[in-house]
Amino acid sequence: MTRTMKRYLFTLALPVASAAAGALWLLGLPGSGRPETAYETASVSRGPITRIVSTSGPVRALVTVSVGSQLSGQIRELKADFNTEVKRGDELAVIDDKSFAAKVSQARADLAAATAQLANQEAQLVKSEAALRLAERAMERTEALAAKGISSPAALDSATRDLDMARADVTVAKAQIETSKATILQRRAMLEQAEIDLDRTRIRSPIDGTVIARTVDVGQTVAASLQAPELFKIAQDLRRIRIEAQVNEADVGAVAKGNPVTFTVDAYPERRFTGRVTQVRLAATELNSIVTYTVIIEAANDDRQLFPGMTATVQIETDKRDGALRVPNEALRFRPRDRSGPPAFADGQSPESGERTRGGHSLEQLKHELQLSNEQLEAVRAVLRRERAERGERTADRNGPLRAAAKAAEGGQRRRTAATIEETLDPLLTEAQRPLFDRWRRGRENSRPGTVWVLTASGSLEPRSVRVGIADDRFAEIVGGDLKEGEGVVVRAREVKR
């Protein structure tokens, strides 16, 4: 075949191949590359859902006491070190006590001198009283002689003066005795203070516990001025610990005393420890415009593997549902491309966040959650029949000029129906059902609206309005709406080539 003939055949084949490719694309045959939307679904199921608040915080001892010195001096001896187990009253350290012992000796000598002075003053009182008696007898004799005209007026004046001086001496002696007694009390107090200071040279443990910090060594000088210097830090009973977890203000409302907690520490990454929330402190901490609250968690530490200062990664269980009707979180985020409006919650948003509204439950779910008897179930059915009757009276308004008002009235009716169901069930509940009822009511009050999409048999998408309760990192609870266990809900869409 000549080169001219080949060029001619190639020119004829090119348009034929182009036409064939176009036909394949139009007919949608395999390999045509025409995109097609495929939907991935997941089944509505029942199972546990646990709402978790994640945070972290340091491990602390339940009680930590800083032990200091009220005296200044040089550390002569250390009797406790890191990790030493101590009892209340045990000596931890000794400050050089020579100067304090000397002060005690001086105080004792001062007290002895004051006691001797008191004895001297008491003897002076006895002497003054004897002189007073002598002056009184002399005065009596002088007065008798003066009455007879024998004694002169000068003698009478002298006797009177001697009597007054004797009386004054007695008064002075008594006052000196009182002064000596007061001096003795003062010297005794000074002795007691000196003995207290001497005793304080021995630093003792105020509690039973473990020494977790020591900041002094032998020979170091302790200077106590306005504030006692810290020498030791003692943790009381490390068989129980607490965690000071910082919880964001957006999550702290869900945390309450008694919430169960699980946590891990880097030292034992494979072990999960358990505890409970014991306190939610009201004082806020603000750092870089982020507000957090301190949540105190207590946990057992019988094997003492948790040390003060460790960082705990904490998960606080704020709510839990067993056997809840649930859908994957992706189902509430999904929206068809040709549909407008936001998803039930955006990527990264918690399903339970957003506006808090009230909503009803399906009868099947209500029966399952509250374990209702036939009598209780019939009472709920009566409420629902009344609701349907009232709703039927407004059907004509839905497509008329009062459509918005009818829709608003219908929402109010649903809330009233839920409240009526509560009032109806309350006196009929057993003791075992009441905690379930309280949990159901909390779930209803904290639910919010959402939409999921169901793939019909014809391949089209059908929206279903639901009420969303609590959620974890995988599933969201469905507390109301037209959705049954086993139905398939769309979780994502992707384009495939045929």
**pLDDT tens-digit series, residues 241-256:** 999 999 999 999 999 9
CATH number of 52-62+234-321: 2.40.30.170
User: Is the confidence at residue 104, as pLDDT, over 70?
Assistant: yes
Confidence of residue 495 (pLDDT cuts 50, 70, 90): confident
CB 421, CB 415: distance < 8 Å: no
pTM: 0.62
Give the pLDDT mean for 417-437. 74
pLDDT reported for residue 243: 98
pLDDT reported for residue 68: 93
Q: Over pLDDT 70: what percentage of the chain?
A: 78
pLDDT reported for residue 231: 95
Give the pLDDT mean for 86-112. 96
Q: DSSP letter for 265, please.
A: E
How far apart are the two ends of the chain, measured CA to CA in Å?
40
Name the region of 83 (left: φ>0; alpha: ψ -120 to 50; beta: rest).
left
Among 229, 201, 234, residue whose Cα is nearest residue 84: 234
Among 307, 309, 277, residue whose Cα is nearest residue 294: 277
Quick one: how many helices (H) and strands (E) in the chain?
A: 8, 17
User: Is the confidence at residue 219, as pLDDT, over 60?
Assistant: yes
Confidence of residue 402 (pLDDT cuts 50, 70, 90): very low
Candidate from 40-44, 184-188, 212-216, 492-496 with smallest mean pLDDT: 492-496
CB 94, CB 202: distance < 8 Å: yes
User: Is the confidence at residue 355, as pLDDT, over 60?
Assistant: no
User: Is the confidence at residue 351, as pLDDT, over 70?
Assistant: no
> Contacts by 247-252 with C-beta closer than 8 Å and gap 24+?
247/53, 247/55, 247/280, 247/292, 247/293, 247/294, 247/295, 247/316, 248/55, 248/290, 248/291, 248/292, 249/284, 249/291, 249/292, 249/293, 250/353, 251/53, 251/55, 251/318, 252/280, 252/292, 252/293, 252/295
User: Is the confidence at residue 267, as pLDDT, over 90?
Assistant: yes
Confidence of residue 400 (pLDDT cuts 50, 70, 90): very low
Instruction: Look up residue 427 and give its amino acid.
Output: P
User: Is the confidence at residue 455, as pLDDT, over 90?
Assistant: no
User: Is the confidence at residue 348, as pLDDT, over 50?
Assistant: no
Angle at 167 between CA 163 and CA 173, to 5 degrees: 145
User: Is the confidence at residue 357, as pLDDT, over 90?
Assistant: no
In three-state secondary structure terms, 285 is strand
Confidence of residue 359 (pLDDT cuts 50, 70, 90): very low
Angle at 33 between CA 29 and CA 39, to 5 degrees: 95
pLDDT reported for residue 494: 83
Confidence of residue 408 (pLDDT cuts 50, 70, 90): very low
- What are the φ and ψ backbone dihedral angles of 317, each rounded to 5 degrees? -85, 105
Q: Hey, where are the domains in the chain? A: 52-62+234-321, 97-197, 370-433
Confidence of residue 198 (pLDDT cuts 50, 70, 90): very high
User: Is the confidence at residue 407, as pLDDT, over 50?
Assistant: no
- What are the φ and ψ backbone dihedral angles of 351, each rounded to 5 degrees? -60, -30
pLDDT reported for residue 358: 35
CB 406, CB 395: distance < 8 Å: no
